[in-house]
Amino acid sequence: MAQYDVVIIGGGPAGYNAAIRAGQLGLKAAVVEKRVTLGGTCLNVGCMPSKALLHASELYEAAAGKEFATLGIEVKPKLNLVQMMAQKAESVAALTKGVEFLFKKNKVDWVKGAGRIAGQGKVEVVGEDGAVTTLEAANIVIATGSEPSGLPGVTVDNQRILDSTGALSIPEVPKSLVVIGAGIIGLELGSVWRRLGAQVTVVEFLDRICPGMDAEVAKTFQRALTKQGMTFKLGAKVTGAKATKTKVDLTVEPVAGGEAETISADYVLLAIGRRPYTEGLGLESVGIVPDKRGFIDTDHWKTSAPGVWAIGDVTHGPMLAHKGEEEAVACIETIAGKAGHVNYGVIPSVVYTAPEVAWVGQTEEELKAAGRAYKSGKFPFTANSRAKINHETEGFVKVLADATTDEVLGVHMIGPQVGEMIGEYCVAMEFKAASEDVARTCHPHPTRSEALRQAAMGVEGWTMQA
């Protein structure tokens, strides 16, 4: 029987980063992964393919719409969807191979097959051929991730009624697409298909988009997407969906009550959240009982079972690749006898649309609910010289800081490339910076990042360029 210091079940961002860190620290580690490639949801059917399509479709729209023409570039682009999908698949394949390379580099074994905990310290792996291998593990790390949540009355067939995986590979540009759920997946993938020519309608249960996002930013974001041609039906619920070979009829009702209506579309994307994935994992063999929503409870990544840990989407917190990565490092460092730590207050979020949305820390609503006295500084991209010359002036940066100590408590941005810039405030917050620290830090000119500094100046009321 093969013996390991750590056996990790799941080869996504939580699992593969745990494995790499374990290898670096000299632990004998194996990853059990049942998918034919490593990288989990993120690399195979999540972050990476969606960003590949967002990048390509953004350029396509820039060329096909007014953006290139405004810059004095006249072209008539022709969409080659087959090539767009092929380049996405090529990039994904290269990335998943990259993880395989990192495993070899760090002496991590990839045990191919479905893993099941079979009592304390034991993981059984059923290979594709049905052969069972048993691994002995001093520590078992559960990193099995999540799967799309279902909705009664809406059966995903990935022909006409799609989940996110289906929506990453639609074989044609839909004339019409209805997205159920105005969350991150719905708005990113809805944007992809709208840019390529689809009429996109988003049906959302709540009376706002993107719950969890600062409300002022969410409002601006919805306005921007509406201007681009997306239609929103807020406060509405889908109660049924009938698919034929060529279309889907959806029954939609106002949440507040009232007449149901039928909306027809070529395709439907169901994106109402994700749920932890623990099917067939053998949790009962070590007495772990997931909570009502299926999450595995942990205390510093330790589950209730001795020697069993859980990280990533399968446990509480934001379902984000970089959150899983943080937990992976902290969990393995704890296993290795070091002091693992995750600062859950400084986990950034980015929506990779255009404009992008990025934030870290607390929203105004959260600060108000907590009764925390705060000051706010805001700077619009219309006043940022780089944004102006690039014709990308939509949006703003908002910095929230403690009213007494000036510590940065939250930063909320919508605008050009803000996802690339939020890291600056993550570092600032990690070092418990005051807004004045950012306001007095020299930023390069002309860059969009100057807006981040000007917003910080605004906290003390001395924004200079607006």
Q: Tell me the closest approach of the beta carbon of residue 156 to ligand NAI, in angstroms.
A: 12
Which is catalytic among the residues 55, 322, 391, 445? 445
Residue 19 C-beta-side C-alpha neighbours within 13 Å: 33
Among 122, 274, 378, 412, binds ligand NAI (CB under 6 A): 274
Give the residue with the Cβ less far from ligand FAD, 41 or 449.
41
Residue 240 beta carbon to ligand NAI: minimum distance, rounded to whole angstroms? 12
Phi, then psi, of 154 in degrees rounded to 5: -125, 100
Q: Is 12 in the site for ligand FAD (CB under 6 A)?
A: yes
**Angle, helices 13-24/321-335, rounded to nearest 10 degrees:** 30
- Asked about 55 being catalytic, the answer comes back as no
Least distance to ligand NAI from the beta carbon of 8, Å?
21
The length of the chain in residues reads 466
Q: Quick one: what does residue 117 bind among ligand FAD, ligand NAI, none, with the CB cut-off 5 to 8 Å set by partner type?
A: none
Q: Cα(277)–Cα(280) distance, rounded to whole angstroms?
A: 9
Angle at 236 between CA 225 and CA 212, to 5 degrees: 60
3-state DSSP assignment of residue 114: strand
Strands 109-112 and 29-33, sheet pairing: parallel
Q: Which two tokens stand for residue 346?
A: 């400084």
Residues 26-45 that bind ligand FAD (CB under 6 A): 32-35, 40-42
Residue found by looking up tokens 């390069």 in the block: 444
Structure tokens at 206: 């709540």
Residue 174 or residue 183: which is nearer to ligand NAI going by CB?
183
Binds 205: which of ligand NAI, ligand FAD, none (CB < 5-8 Å by kind): ligand NAI
Q: By rule CB under 6 A, what string of x and - marks binding of each residue 184-203 to ligand FAD?
A: -x------------------
Cα–Cα distance between 54 and 77 in angstroms, integer?
Answer: 17
Question: Cα separation of 211 and 234, whole Å?
Answer: 12
With CB under 6 A as the contact rule, which of the stretches 53-61, 182-190, 355-363, 442-450 interacts with ligand NAI?
182-190
Q: Which of 11, 166, 377, 458 binds ligand FAD (CB under 6 A)?
A: 11
> 296 and 276 in contact (C-beta within 8 Å)?
yes
Site string for ligand NAI, 307-336 (x = CB under 6 A): -----------xxx----------------
CB 464 within 8 A of CB 377: no
List binders of ligand NAI among 222-241 (CB under 6 A).
237-238
Catalytic residue ranges: 445
Residues that bind ligand NAI (CB under 6 A): 151, 180-186, 188, 203-206, 211, 237-238, 271-274, 318-320, 349-352
